Amino acid sequence: MTFAGFRKMEADRELAKLNETIARQQQEIGALKSRVGQAESQLEIERATHGDVAKQVKALTEENATLKEDLAFFQSLMPVAAADGALSVNRFRLEPGGMPGEYRYRLLLVYAGQRVKEFRGSLQFVLNVAQDGRPLVLTLPQPGEQGAREFQLNFKLFQRVEGTFKLAPDAVVNTMQVRVFENGSKAPKLTQTLKIS
């Protein structure tokens, strides 16, 4: 019986050792799970931070481009400022729009010098167009639209002017002239022509 008891005692000791090993390994597993959880949380935080930083970099890049454009604009105003009361056209552009026959125009009017009053007036575009092999002259605004809001001017230093117009899809714009009229005047104060082709 002692032999069987000895075996039982030895088996009990082995069982106790195994239980201790299991308990220790379970503690280690728990600690490892905790560390893995912390590492995953840290990784999520780093990913979120990286995403935020990427968004901030993109926003700052866009802001930088805008500031550079504004700087170029203000630098272009400096030489003009010497002529008091001078009106000038800057950045006059005409680009094809998204649809056939659609065009988008942009320009910047600058009123330089030391003055208190605002410039009030209107603008008019004269287009030299070729359509079906025939030359045409078109005016914007068209007769009856002279009071159209997008053609009215009211500014102290500068005014950006942007807009679109539509022609027949087969029409080709050769030149576009902008005419700037001061209120009360029949003659344009300024004209500038943009050659397209």
* pTM as predicted: 0.57
Backbone angles phi, psi at 9, to 5 degrees: -65, -45
Q: What is the 3-state secondary structure (H, E, C) of 37-105?
A: HHHHHHHHHHHHHHHHHHHHHHHHHHHHHHHHHHHHHHHHHHHHCCCCCCEEEEEEEEEECCCCCEEEE
d(CA 193, CA 181): 15
| Structure confidence by residue, pLDDT tens digits, 51-106 | 899 999 998 998 888 788 777 776 666 554 445 567 888 889 999 988 899 999 99
Instruction: Give me the CATH code for the 87-195 domain, please.
Output: 2.60.40
Task: Determine the pLDDT at residue 136.
Answer: 92
Confidence of residue 150 (pLDDT cuts 50, 70, 90): confident
